[in-house]
A = this chain, B = another copy of it.
Amino acid sequence: MIIIMEPNSTEAQAKKIVEFLKNNGFEIRFNQGQVHTVIDAIGDKTTVTPGRISGFDGVKEVKIIREPFRLASRDRKPDDTIIEFSNGVKIGGKNKPVTIAGPCSIEDYDGLLKAAIAAKETGCEFLRGGAFKPRTSPYDFQGHGEKALEYMRKAADETGLLTVSEIMDASDLDMMCNYVDVLQIGARNMQNFKLLQAVGKCNKPVILKRGLSSTIREFLLAAEHILYQGNPNVILCERGIRSFDSAFTRNVMDIASIPVIKRYSHLPIIIDPSHGTGQRYLIEPLAKAGLVVGADGVMIEIHHDPENALSDGKQSLPLSMFKEVMNNLNEFYKKNTP
């Protein structure tokens, strides 16, 4: 931690900080520059955060040296985290990237089954589907709840797929664990810390989606909340960030975040080009872009009848188009694997 004092700060103010830091076990170096006094606090105490030190009088700024995420950091665990499921499917490391497909929301069993069959046939490992939907407006469809989860479990069992669904509230945790193989935390809940703590206390794998305006550091700190509670099975998901331009795409996919996160963290990361772009024609190219930079999987929204979808029809692939995309992705993956 490096503390930069205001130009007009006093010696007494600097002393007070130095004393506090020493009492908390830091080793101190004191540098008097032309304009600023700079205090180096060497040591690593998660309990004395930069935020605390910046409350002292005379402080202009506190700069961190070490990234604040620890359990999620590759410094601490150099090997890739690999998550293995009961049926042998694995996510992370050098394993083949997985595909997660399914409708934005689960509407009826027959439609869902069609999607599940298409997913299985094209080599997907997971069926996704929303039972509880976070919706910007209260007038939008909110999901069919537990009934939808029953449908999903049944369709997945019939086809031999694993299941993924979003959890919106800690009180649903036990119920949901009966139906899903992977819990998903949505972008809007990335900093719903009660929910992070709750899923951190179970051991189901969790897909954690990046918040709309979350920095990479905040994203890894959100994962840290889950890891800190004891659940090591976190799968990150890049799904686009908010920018100043939404005329042609819903969000901006931060493709570079994937190799960045691979460098600084051991956690697997997948890509969601459906939400990331909001446009059908961009799903295949962005999925490939994600794979090429190292994503451990792809999540794709599909629908057996997008024109009658109750949510996200615009970005859902119809099944025929989905099969074509999957063929292209499978071929692309084969070509580009040593």
Using known A-B contacts A247-B216, A289-B289, determine if residue A137 contacts B336 with beta carbons closer than 8 Å: no
0/1 string, A247-262, CB within 8 A of B gives 1: 1110011111111100
Question: Which residues of chain A from 214 to 263 have any CB-CB distance to chain B below 8 Å in the complex?
Answer: 215-218, 221, 224-225, 228, 241-249, 252-260, 263
> In the complex, what residues of B have CB within 8 A of residue A255's CB?
253, 255, 286, 289
A33:B44 contact, CB within 8 angstroms: yes
Question: Which residues of chain A from 158 to 217 have any CB-CB distance to chain B below 8 Å in the complex?
Answer: 168-171, 188-189, 191-194, 212-213, 215-217
A42:B46 contact, CB within 8 angstroms: no
Q: Which of these, B140, B212, B248, contacts A264 with CB under 8 Å?
A: B248
> In the complex, what residues of B have CB within 8 A of residue A215's CB?
244-245, 247
Return A209 CB to nearest CB of chain B, in Å.
13
Q: Which of these, B32, B137, B282, contacts A221 with CB under 8 Å?
A: B137
Q: Measured between alpha carbons, how far is A213 from B213 in the docked complex, in Å?
A: 6
> In the complex, what residues of B have CB within 8 A of residue A282's CB?
256, 259-260
| Number of copies of chain A assembled together | 4
A40:B38 contact, CB within 8 angstroms: yes
B139:A46 contact, CB within 8 angstroms: yes
Q: Which of these, B35, B52, B65, B188, contacts A36 with CB under 8 Å?
A: B65
0/1 string, A283-294, CB within 8 A of B gives 1: 001101110111
Q: Measured between alpha carbons, how far is A257 from B252 in the docked complex, in Å?
A: 9
Q: Which of these, B47, B170, B252, contacts A254 with CB under 8 Å?
A: B252
Nearest neighbor of A68 in chain B, beta-carbon distance: B137
B216:A55 contact, CB within 8 angstroms: no
Q: Which of these, B43, B52, B192, contacts A188 with CB under 8 Å?
A: B192
- Chain A contacts to B: CB under 8 angstroms: 2, 4, 7, 16, 20, 29, 31-36, 38, 40, 42-44, 46-47, 49, 51-52, 54-57, 59, 63, 65-66, 68-69, 75, 134-140, 168-171, 188-189, 191-194, 212-213, 215-218, 221, 224-225, 228, 241-249, 252-260, 263-264, 276-277, 281-282, 285-286, 288-290, 292-294, 303, 306-314, 316, 332, 335-336
